[in-house]
Structure 1
Amino acid sequence: MVNVGDRVLLVAGGQSVFEVREIDGDHAVVESADADAPGRYPFPARLAHLVPAE
């Protein structure tokens, strides 16, 4: 289960870590956890695809 504030990967084996900002139905709004990431902005992602970041 994914919750607001969790750090996740968009897919298994992904390299970039994202933070869940909000959850709406079967989608989450995520944003890069790297404050220095260029073009950092929130965007929707399917909850079913998110993987907890280690």
Structure 2
Amino acid sequence: LEVGQAKLTEKVDGMDRRLEKVEGTQKNQVWTLIILLGGAIGTAAWRSFFSGNP
């Protein structure tokens, strides 16, 4: 029983670590999306502002 319990806790620890890795990559993806969208909006606003003023 003790050996089985140790294996189970190891599996749970491994799953927790995997989840932490996935959460980290998702956070990075969200930040990348925010930065890319912000840059695109900023570039569009910059271009329209300067093309609108002769």
- TM-score normalised by the shorter chain: which range applies? under 0.3
Structure with more contact order per residue of length (Cα contacts < 8 Å, sep ≥ 6): 1
Larger Rg: 2
> Could you tell me the TM-score, scaled by structure 1's length?
0.16
Q: Which protein has the bigger strand share?
A: 1
